[in-house]
Amino acid sequence: MPAVEQTFSPAETISDAEAKFEQWRNRAGFVLAPAVFLLIWFLPFENLKPEAHRLAAIMAAVIVLWLCESVPMTVTALLGAALAVVLQVADAKTVFAPFADPLIFLFIGSFILARAIFVHNLDKRVAYTVLSMDFIGARPSRILFAFGAVTAFISAWISNTATTAMMFAIGLSLINFLVAQEKETGVKINRNYATALMLMTSFAASVGGLATPIGTPPNVIGIGFLRTLVGADISFFKWMLLGVPVVVVLFLFLWFYFNKLAPAGVKEIKGSAEMLDRERDKLGAWTRGQKSVVIAFAVTVSLWVVPGLIALFAGEQSPIYKTLSSRMPEAVGAIVGALLLFILPGNKVGERAITWENAVKIDWGVIFLYGGGFALGVLSFQTGLAEAVGRGLTGFLPLSGDFGLLVASVIVAVILSETTSNTASANMVVPVVIAISQAQGADPFVPALGATLGASLGFMLPVSTPCNAIVYGSGYVPLMKMVKYGALLDIVGAIVIIAFVWMLAPFLR
Tell me the per-residue pLDDT of 182-206, one tens digit each, with 9 for 90 and over. 666 666 777 788 888 889 999 999 9
pLDDT at 169 over 60: yes
pLDDT at 354 over 80: yes
Number of helices (H) and strands (E) in the chain: give both, helices first. 23, 0
Candidate from 87-96, 414-423, 434-443, 486-495 with smallest mean pLDDT: 414-423
The residue-averaged pLDDT of 299-327 equals 84
Q: Is 160 helix (H, G, I), strand (E, B) or coil?
A: helix
Cα separation, 393 vs 431, whole angstroms: 13
Contact, 205 vs 467, CB < 8 A?
A: yes
Share of the chain above pLDDT 90, in %: 30
Cα separation, 237 vs 212, whole angstroms: 8
pLDDT at 28 over 50: yes
pLDDT range class, residue 359, cuts 50, 70, 90: very high
* Average pLDDT score, the chain: 84
pLDDT range class, residue 48, cuts 50, 70, 90: confident
Q: Establish if 67 belongs to a structural domain.
A: no
Q: At what angle do helices 122-131 and 288-314 cross, to 10 degrees?
A: 80
pLDDT at 379 over 80: yes
pLDDT at 1 over 60: no
List beta partners, residue 345: 352
275 versus 157: which is more confidently predicted?
157
Contact, 289 vs 353, CB < 8 A?
A: yes
The residue-averaged pLDDT of 159-174 equals 81
The residue-averaged pLDDT of 217-227 equals 89
Q: Establish if 9 belongs to a structural domain.
A: no
Cα separation, 460 vs 189, whole angstroms: 25
Q: Is 420 helix (H, G, I), strand (E, B) or coil?
A: coil
Give residue 7's pLDDT: 42
Give residue 500's pLDDT: 96
Quote the number of domains for the chain.
1
Give residue 9's pLDDT: 41
Q: Establish if 485 belongs to a structural domain.
A: no
Q: Establish if 159 belongs to a structural domain.
A: yes
Q: Establish if 416 belongs to a structural domain.
A: no
Termini Cα distance of the chain:
46
What is the pTM assigned to this prediction? 0.79
Range of the domain at 278: 103-359
Q: Establish if 244 belongs to a structural domain.
A: yes
Residues in the chain: 509
pLDDT at 122 over 70: yes
Q: Establish if 120 belongs to a structural domain.
A: yes
pLDDT at 271 over 80: no
pLDDT at 6 over 80: no
pLDDT tens digits, one per residue of 315-353: 778 888 888 888 888 889 889 999 999 999 998 888 999
pLDDT range class, residue 12, cuts 50, 70, 90: very low
Q: Establish if 397 belongs to a structural domain.
A: no
pLDDT at 374 over 60: yes
Closest CA to 216 of 226, 203, 206: 206
Closest CA to 370 of 216, 208, 154: 216
Alpha carbon 384 to chain centroid distance? Answer: 30
Closest CA to 413 of 484, 467, 480, 490: 490
pLDDT tens digits, one per residue of 52-78: 999 999 989 998 888 788 888 889 989
